[in-house]
């Protein structure tokens, strides 16, 4: 028995060294074909968004009232909209704006959520009580109505849309970070850091919060999906990013008046929103499965 153990130990150790955490994770993730497809789509759409102004064949805001509702042609591969603007160019530049809002709003959510969650978990007691009440409260109110109200009252702009979506979507991150902080605090390396006289802020930022990164990455990925969906809904109601800046949401808002005659104008942006949100959701779910060792064991059982 003892012999077996000593014989097995070096082999296990070398196997561990040769397969880094990332390799293990990537090996699991790669097996999920749906998620790989989604990742591929997201890569393409983000590259398109990055190079939007180079790729767009026309100026997406150029009005040509003599060429409204043009059918697809060499000049306009997807035709033109109600103001004679090139639909393909608007979809491409719209990708840039919609994804920018999605990613930045997610960053706001993750920042707010990480701060709330780590402070609540780290300081406990009253801070925890108050912050978690706030989190629960925010989870039980219709946040979309709140976002809509704030934008209607204060007027809408790109940065306000990002902030409003970010500040109504941080609750899941806060809960996740708090749980991870509570799990990490009693561990020895935290005690060691404390014994070395590390300040609270440094302890949190350098040692405790990084432990939550896996869960935060999952929540952040799903958060992008939520943010893109919310932006499109706000823009649809006319309270999101304002024209002439094209986003998929405000393209739909324009297109809905012409669904009886030109339904295709409403199809394109909607399909793109759905595919992006779907891809982020699928990738987020696959990340959760690949990053969570418990999920792996459950599957074996």
Torsions phi, psi of 86, nearest 5? -70, 120
CA-based nearest residue to 75, from 63, 92, 87, 61: 87
**Residue 179 binding another protein, by CB under 8 A:** no
**Residue 232 binding another protein, by CB under 8 A:** yes
| Span near another protein by CB under 8 A; candidates 1-9, 25-33, 90-98, 137-145 | 137-145
For another protein, give the closer residue by CB, 9 or 152.
152
- Cα dihedral 140→145→150→151 (10° resolution): 140
Token pair 């809408």: residue? 156
**Helices 143-154 and 158-167, interaxial angle, to 10°?**
150
144 with 237: CB under 8 angstroms? no
Site size with another protein, rule: CB under 8 A: 43
| Span near another protein by CB under 8 A; candidates 61-69, 98-106, 181-189, 271-279 | 271-279
**Residue 300 binding another protein, by CB under 8 A:** no
- Please pick, from the candidates 144, 179, 198, 213, the single residue that binds another protein as defined by CB under 8 A: 144
- Binders of another protein in range 34-53 (CB under 8 A): 34
- Please pick, from the candidates 27, 137, 210, 244, the single residue that binds another protein as defined by CB under 8 A: 137
For another protein, give the closer residue by CB, 26 or 154.
154
Find the shortest distance in angstroms from Cβ 157 to another protein.
13
CB atoms within 10 A of CB 189: 11
Q: Cis before residue 244, ω within 30 degrees of 0? A: yes
């Amino acid at each position: 028995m003892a012999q077996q153990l000593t014989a097995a130990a070096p082999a296990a150790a070398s196997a561990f060294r040769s397969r880094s955490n990332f390799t293990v994770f990537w090996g699991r993730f790669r097996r999920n074909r749906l998620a790989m497809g989604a990742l591929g789509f997201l890569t393409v759409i983000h590259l398109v968004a990055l190079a939007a102004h180079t790729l767009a064949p026309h100026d997406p805001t150029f009005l040509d009232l003599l060429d409204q509702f043009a059918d697809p042609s060499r000049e306009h591969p997807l035709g033109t909209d109600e103001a004679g603007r090139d639909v393909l160019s608007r979809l491409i530049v719209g990708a840039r704006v919609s994804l920018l809002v999605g990613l930045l709003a997610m960053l706001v959510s993750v920042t707010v959520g990480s701060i709330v969650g780590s402070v609540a978990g780290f300081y406990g007691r009253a801070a925890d009580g108050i912050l978690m009440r706030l989190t629960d409260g925010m989870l039980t109110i219709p946040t979309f109505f709140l976002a809509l109200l704030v934008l209607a009252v204060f007027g809408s702009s790109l940065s306000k849309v990002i902030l409003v979506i970010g500040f109504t979507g941080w609750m899941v991150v806060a809960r996740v970070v708090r749980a991870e902080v509570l799990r990490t605090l009693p561990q020895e390396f935290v005690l060691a850091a404390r014994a070395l006289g590390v300040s609270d802020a440094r302890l949190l930022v350098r040692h405790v919060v990084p432990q939550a990164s896996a869960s935060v990455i999952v929540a952040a990925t799903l958060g992008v999906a939520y943010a893109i969906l919310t932006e499109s809904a706000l823009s649809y109601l006319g309270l999101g990013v304002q024209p002439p800046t094209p986003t998929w949401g405000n393209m739909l808002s324009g297109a809905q008046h012409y669904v009886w005659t030109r339904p295709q104008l409403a199809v394109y942006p909607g399909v793109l929103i759905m595919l992006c949100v779907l891809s982020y959701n699928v990738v987020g779910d696959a990340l959760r499965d690949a990053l969570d060792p418990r999920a792996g064991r459950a599957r074996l059982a």
